A and B are shown apart, each in its own frame.
Chain A
Amino acid sequence: MATLKELSAKKELFSGGHRLCAGCGIPPIVRLILRSAGSPVVATTATGCLEVGTSIFPYTAWRIPWIHSAFENAAATISGIESAYKAMKRRGNIPADKEIKFLAIGGDGGTYDIGFQALSGALERGHNFVYVCYDNGAYMNTGIQRSSATPFGSATTTSPAGEVRKGKKEWRKDLTKIVVAHNIPYAAQASPHNWRDLEKKGAKAFNCGGPAFLNIISPCPLGWYTKSEESITAAQLAVDTCYWPLYEVENGVLRVTYKPKEKRPIEEWLKIQGRFKHLFMPENKWLLEETQKRIDAEWQRLLEMDGKHVF
């Protein structure tokens, strides 16, 4: 594992000067992921904040070969790229021993929802690539519409909070577990606040020899209604409240990679975010209790699986 000093000495493959918002969780995630690759990387990105914010002419933040595909097909595009490189190696266009990594990145909309079919297909076919989902919990690029990654109770522009509805009424889709069910060599959840853990998981993903998946929580000041300077704190609280547990499943064995010394109540994460404001009205107290109960149960289940074969 690289030390911070070693990491910072590596070439920056994702430049500054892009148009992502101040406090956006995506840039630190992408920078760490690219640093963790250790070999030349070819990347494709689904439509979304990352794509729009990093590539408007005449600028680009990408110092690697990079393609914006469409909204639903980052995983399918990387499948084609990876297969083409394989063919080129076979034909001798590229030295057979040259190590090249393949990376697909999408937001939660482009991964959990519209890109889900492409992701599942690519994992099943076994392409040697890493899929990174930056999960900020809504369609932030089009103006904060709910996605299947949006947390329970969160207000979005298509799950507004009012007298009747209290924000999103469905629980978040557990995509990491769905991906794990594809029996791929490596899948993990990570957070940008824990850079060491994130970088380590990135390196494991790139070197596991098959499809790998990283689901990374990505704070969004715009959609979470948080202060820009509190983004990393928000990510940390998501982990310390066990809303976003850090774990990995390596060759079928699950391991919780971080257990908070003191598990914080979910309110601590929710209260700093405007999207959950309505949950703190006295009449909605039951929603907070509901959320806490569910998180406790999920965390408990995860701990029970810790160190065990899950497939």
Chain B
Amino acid sequence: MAEKRSKKLVQGNEACSEGALYAGCRFYAGYPITPSTEVAEILSARLPNVGGKFIQMEDEIASISAVIGASLAGLKSLTATSGPGFSLKQEGIGYACMAEVPCVIVNVMRGGPSTGYPTGPSQSDVMQAKWGTHGDHPVIAVTPAYVQEIFSETVRAFNLAERYRTPVLILYDEIVGHMREPVTFPLPGELEVIDRVKPTCPLEEYLPYDTEYEIAPLAAFGEGYRFHVTGLNHRADGFPTNDSKLIEKGIKRLTGKIENHREDIWKNEEYLLDDADIVVFAFGSTARSARYSVRKARENGLKAGLLRPLTLWPFPEKAVRDAVVRAKAVIVPEMNLGQIVHEVERCACGVKVEGIFRVDGEPINPRQILDVIEKYR
């Protein structure tokens, strides 16, 4: 008899933990912070059962650093945090970008800045996700909106991290992080799980940043390959360089390896978008309100549609451009004071873009969005 999928009522943070395990994550290092702590709590009990390792570190900086170390040692690695912790992790995230170390960082977004509103939702870290660490660097960020999707997007985040040798951010807000919804857990093999490419060349020929490849194979420490890792600009063998040509080439390859594969990384949900002349662009839990508003607007005879990015970075420029062709307006609700709205504006080809912002720790409700849709009747 075929194995049956299990279905359970779980919290967003639990779905994230289970998604990580499904993707083959075997290392977690973290630090307690509301509203992400459940990811650590659950993995502290689950990881030892699957031969993995859980470590609670002394702070957020140590957590991301341990994750980088564990990934270089060959394990798929995860850390989860929220606003203040995400700020502290930024240097490590930049290091992982530069040294091309696959890893996954969850940010369960709460109100900020600083300690902000630990128990309230927010979407105000989306620009920090893009530019929080210094220097030109690639960013992949996924934005699940449903508990089931937190599971599948966590798996996808690990796949993207492994495929592109880069840190991948999972951004969801406190609402979906703590929400409980039924989740059907896929059986092993049902979802694609990607592992990093390992070198097969002779030991003396291995170059960890071989420019022959767009993304070079990654050896694990201890497998015999010489492997120099640094946050400095480096050559193909990993050793630091001051050669301006190599520096430029390296940085361009770093961002290019993501930019050139945007089609593979992008993922959007389009809802009633085909003939829509009022487009709502929303992500995360705000998209749940937006979806309802769009349906109501349709019932009211308005041609509204929803574009919901599951990949927020790289920004879904093409999807926005395609969606605005027939549009007279694009509405961007987000739980901040206007961050992604500017990205949408950049890609909206002159079509009117209107933001709906909320920073009081309450979700944007469908009525708010519907009222703005009605304006464009």
**A116 CA / B37 CA spacing, docked (Å):** 21
Are B44 and A47 touching (Cβ within 8 A)?
no
Are B54 and A113 touching (Cβ within 8 A)?
no
Are A70 and B41 touching (Cβ within 8 A)?
no
* A160 surroundings in chain B (CB, below 8 A): 44-45
Kindly specify which of B15-23, B27-35, B255-263, B325-333 makes contact with the partner chain: B27-35
Are B37 and A145 touching (Cβ within 8 A)?
yes
Are A157 and B84 touching (Cβ within 8 A)?
no
Which parts of B25-83 form the interface with A (CB within 8 Å)?
Answer: 31-34, 37, 40-41, 44-45, 48-49, 54, 56, 58-60
Are A145 and B114 touching (Cβ within 8 A)?
no
In the complex formed, the residue of B with least CB distance to A109 is B32
Task: Given A114-B58, A139-B32, A148-B58, check contact A70 B40 (CB 8 Å).
Answer: no
* A113 surroundings in chain B (CB, below 8 A): 31, 58-59
- Judged by a CB distance under 8 angstroms, whether B211 is at the interface is no
Task: Given A114-B31, A142-B33, A142-B34, check contact A158 B54 (CB 8 Å).
Answer: yes
Are A70 and B32 touching (Cβ within 8 A)?
no
* B40 surroundings in chain A (CB, below 8 A): 145, 158
Task: For residue B125, give the distance in angstroms from its CB to the closest CB of chain A.
Answer: 16
For this complex, into which size category does the number of interface residues on chain A fall?
A: 20 to 34
**A146 CA / B57 CA spacing, docked (Å):** 10
Are B37 and A142 touching (Cβ within 8 A)?
yes
**A47 CA / B58 CA spacing, docked (Å):** 15
Task: For residue B141, give the distance in angstroms from its CB to the closest CB of chain A.
Answer: 25
**A47 CA / B82 CA spacing, docked (Å):** 14
* B114 surroundings in chain A (CB, below 8 A): 70
- Judged by a CB distance under 8 angstroms, whether B268 is at the interface is no
Beta-carbon contacts of A156-185 to B below 8 Å, as 1s and 0s? Answer: 011110101100000000000000000000
**A143 CA / B49 CA spacing, docked (Å):** 23
**A71 CA / B114 CA spacing, docked (Å):** 10
**A160 CA / B41 CA spacing, docked (Å):** 9
Task: For residue B36, give the distance in angstroms from its CB to the closest CB of chain A.
Answer: 10
B31, B32, B56 interface centre (most CB from chain A within 10 Å): B32
Task: Given A113-B58, A113-B59, check contact A142 B115 (CB 8 Å).
Answer: no
**A305 CA / B60 CA spacing, docked (Å):** 37
**A68 CA / B60 CA spacing, docked (Å):** 19
**A116 CA / B61 CA spacing, docked (Å):** 13
**A67 CA / B41 CA spacing, docked (Å):** 31
Are B32 and A142 touching (Cβ within 8 A)?
yes
Task: For residue A173, give the distance in angstroms from its CB to the closest CB of chain B.
Answer: 9
Are A158 and B44 touching (Cβ within 8 A)?
yes
In the complex formed, the residue of B with least CB distance to A173 is B58
- Judged by a CB distance under 8 angstroms, whether A82 is at the interface is no
In the complex formed, the residue of A with least CB distance to B36 is A142
Are A158 and B41 touching (Cβ within 8 A)?
yes
B33, B37, B40, B58 interface centre (most CB from chain A within 10 Å): B58
Are B84 and A70 touching (Cβ within 8 A)?
yes
The one of A145, A162, A164 that contacts B41, using a Cβ cutoff of 8 Å: A145
In the complex formed, the residue of A with least CB distance to B57 is A113
* B33 surroundings in chain A (CB, below 8 A): 142
Are B44 and A159 touching (Cβ within 8 A)?
yes
In the complex formed, the residue of A with least CB distance to B37 is A142
Are A145 and B115 touching (Cβ within 8 A)?
no
Task: For residue B172, give the distance in angstroms from its CB to the closest CB of chain A.
Answer: 18
Are B32 and A158 touching (Cβ within 8 A)?
yes
Task: For residue B376, give the distance in angstroms from its CB to the closest CB of chain A.
Answer: 39
Contact sample, A vs B, 24 pairs, CB 8 Å cutoff = A72-B59, A113-B31, A113-B58, A114-B31, A116-B58, A142-B32, A143-B32, A143-B37, A143-B41, A145-B37, A145-B41, A145-B56, A146-B56, A157-B41, A158-B40, A158-B41, A158-B44, A158-B54, A158-B56, A159-B44, A159-B56, A160-B44, A162-B45, A164-B49
With A71-B115, A145-B56, A157-B41 known, 13 other A-B pairs at CB within 8 A are A68-B115, A70-B84, A70-B115, A109-B32, A139-B32, A142-B37, A143-B34, A143-B37, A145-B40, A148-B58, A158-B56, A160-B44, A162-B45
